[in-house]
Structure 1
Amino acid sequence: MQRHRQRFICGLAFGLVLLAQTAPAQESAPATASDAPPAATCQPDVGCVTNLPLPRFVSLKGSEGNARRGPGLTHRIDWVFTREGMPLMITAEYENWRRVEDSEGAGGWVHYALLSGVRTVLVTRDMAEIRDAPNESALLVAQAEVGVIGRVLTCRDDWCRIAMDGQRGWMHKSTIWGVGADETVE
């Protein structure tokens, strides 16, 4: 009986020592998740993580990407992008997360691994003309419907050379979304 009592007292003392060591950590207020990352001390037109310009265009790497309310897996999914190669605009960065928007302004926080640096565009005007040279009088090569995605080969002035559905040609920037109005792509 005496032996059991000593073990109990030793175990109780050991438990109290462990509890005393963890008590200061429990006194601090629990962390709360917010919908937005903490304010960063960086320039508004440059990403704090990558030092790349903001906003900038990227594309969806796979056939599906979850856009979350905040930068982390604990935040709920607000939107799911479902078109591989879809152009997206990065508007903010936080650790491994990028806040993105599509051509209609829908979006949220997406993990960077779901994004690609391959430049793509989305046709925004029905029967948009694809020409063999960057001017209105050039030969018409094809026409593209609204919603078609093409890969950007180069952009200068008001025109971009695009590859889509086996065709290559020049499209006026006013007929596509995924490049800035004054952006040059080499």
Structure 2
Amino acid sequence: MDRKKRTLVPALICAAAIAGAAAPTPLRAQPAESSGLSGSGLPVPRFVSLKSDRVNLRNGPGTDYPTGWVYRRAGLPLEIVQEFESWRKVRDSEGATGWVLQSFLSGRRTALVLPWERKASTKPPLVPIHASDSERSHIVVNVEAGVIADLRTCDGRWCRVTVDAYTGYIEQKKLWGAYEGETIK
């Protein structure tokens, strides 16, 4: 087995559709005010991911509302904070909110690695993905802040993730896409 440490880097996550739009301050994953069950019968808030490489984030629940952002990354995690008919009000890791048609969302759980550490002017930090749920375990791969990881399981402290062909463990507090202490089976 090749023991060289590998580094995976993120791809383009989203593009502002409004000229001069300021980027919101990144958020850590924390449940919004819970309204219990929604019209779909699923809990709100909850995390989902984008199905498509091009999804419009609208200013209201309908195609008559203007587009505020265009997401350009399938698998990007979003948090549903409200529902209206077939529309879902979502929040991204930077705190931007808007409405997305439900058919563009998937229940597949993904997470961004340390999105709050990613800065445009500096090199993003590297985060190790370990072979087991211990900081002392072998490092499988290093990934840059902003990389999307598929969530397999989480025990409230560690999550088993897959990034490209690599599977391993990362501390849950380093992910946006799983609530603090949340367990995922």
Please confirm whether the aligned pair reaches a TM-score higher than 0.5, indicating the same fold.
Answer: yes
Equivalences for residues 80-119 of structure 1 within 5 A: 80-119=70-109
Q: State the partner residue of 1:168.
A: 167
Moved more, 122-131 or 156-165: 122-131
**Structure of larger gyration radius:** 1
Instruction: Tell me the secondary structure at the aligned position of residue 171 of structure 1.
Output: strand
CA contact (8 A) 1:152 1:162 kept: yes
Structure 1 consecutive aligned stretches of length 4 or more whose deviation exceeds 4 Å: none
TM-score where L is the length of structure 1? 0.74
Q: State the partner residue of 2:152.
A: 153
TM-score where L is the length of structure 2? 0.74
Take 1:143 and 1:58, find their aligned partners in 2: how far apart are those partners? 25
Take 2:149 and 2:84, find their aligned partners in 1: how far apart are those partners? 29
Q: 1:115 to 1:90 in 2, by over 3 A?
A: same
Q: State the partner residue of 1:177.
A: 176
Listed as ranges, the gaps of 5+ residues in structure 2 are: 1-32, 118-124
CA contact (8 A) 2:34 2:45 kept: no
Structure scoring higher RCO (CA < 8 A, sep ≥ 6) equals: 2
CA contact (8 A) 1:47 1:93 kept: no
Once the two structures are TM-superposed, the CA of residue 48 in structure 1 deviates from its matched residue by: 2.6
Letter of the 1:67 partner, please give it: L
Once the two structures are TM-superposed, the CA of residue 137 in structure 1 deviates from its matched residue by: 1.5
After superposition, the CA RMSD in angstroms is: 1.4
Q: State the partner residue of 2:128.
A: 129
Take 1:158 and 1:171, find their aligned partners in 2: how far apart are those partners? 9
Take 2:172 and 2:103, find their aligned partners in 1: how far apart are those partners? 28
Q: 1 or 2, which has the higher helix percentage?
A: 1
Take 2:152 and 2:130, find their aligned partners in 1: how far apart are those partners? 14
Identity of aligned residues (%): 41
Once the two structures are TM-superposed, the CA of residue 49 in structure 1 deviates from its matched residue by: 1.1
Q: State the partner residue of 2:5.
A: none
